[in-house]
Amino acid sequence: MRLESHRQFRRSFREKGFRKLLLAAIFLAAILATHLVAPPAWSQPHSVSGLNAHSVLNIREDIDQTLDVGSSAIIGTIPHDASDVMVTGISVAIGDAKWREIKYNGTVGWVNARYLKPANMLLERPEALQCAGTEPFWNVAIDENASTFLSPDLESPIELDYLRLAPGIGRSDLWGHYLGSADGAYSLTVIVRYTEACSDGMSDLTYDYEALLLGLSASGAPAYGCCSISR
């Protein structure tokens, strides 16, 4: 009897473990899908710098996946004097070089960050952010028009009202976003800070923005994550 109970317990444990893994995989896929279809909203423009008048800045494809410059196709170029290059806030290091994801004239790809500089030195707050964390998994789309929250416990994103914005006291790189569902079931605060050094702990990517999510846990414990500009 004890042996049979033990077998049932092990079988149940394996099934629950498989369901958790499956749920996590579905959740990660949902995060990627949300990131890919999010409405466009970009940070302050960047300028090309350090190139001579006869050179262009190459835009490469999928360098975040290949991690190899030579095998990443060139999908566009940027003039040496361009001043309207938009960055997403995601970068990856390859050797000694840092590569940034950008958008220029409708083309989204990767360029060597060495040749980019902000068009102005005033840090502007992004209009929309895609923030996510692991351990536990969570995803929040911050947008004054359409914010959402997603976790592995939810079958679909929860729509949230954007309640208010609270800029950091005496800081231009810190913002508090206050969100809540219409039925009052969810009340979330996302503290976002510009760092250029946030890691998701699961990839080689680095994000410009880090986030602390409050309201996810009943204990009030904050959850850590990273943000990129919605694209």
Instruction: List, for residues 128-160, the tens digit of each pLDDT value.
Output: 999 999 888 999 999 988 899 999 889 899 999
**pLDDT, tens digit, 9 for 90 and up, residues 37-78:** 333 334 568 999 999 999 999 999 999 888 999 899 999 999
Contacts of 108 (CB under 8 A, 6+ apart): 88, 101, 102, 231
Summarised one tens digit per residue, pLDDT across range 100-122 is 999 999 999 999 999 998 876 66
pTM of model > 0.75: no
Task: Pull the structure tokens for residue 176.
Answer: 């508090």
- Name the CATH topology of 46-118: SH3 type barrels. (2.30.30)
Residue spans per domain, the chain: 10-37+125-229, 46-118
What percentage of residues in the chain have a pLDDT greater than 90? 56
Q: Is 89 left (phi over 0), alpha (psi -120 to 50) or beta?
A: left
Kindly state the helix (H) or strand (E) to which residue 36 belongs, with its residue range: helix 2-37
Give the number of other Cβ atoms within 10 Å of residue 4's Cβ: 8
Contact 190, 211 (CB under 8 A): yes
Residue 1, both tokens: 């009897």
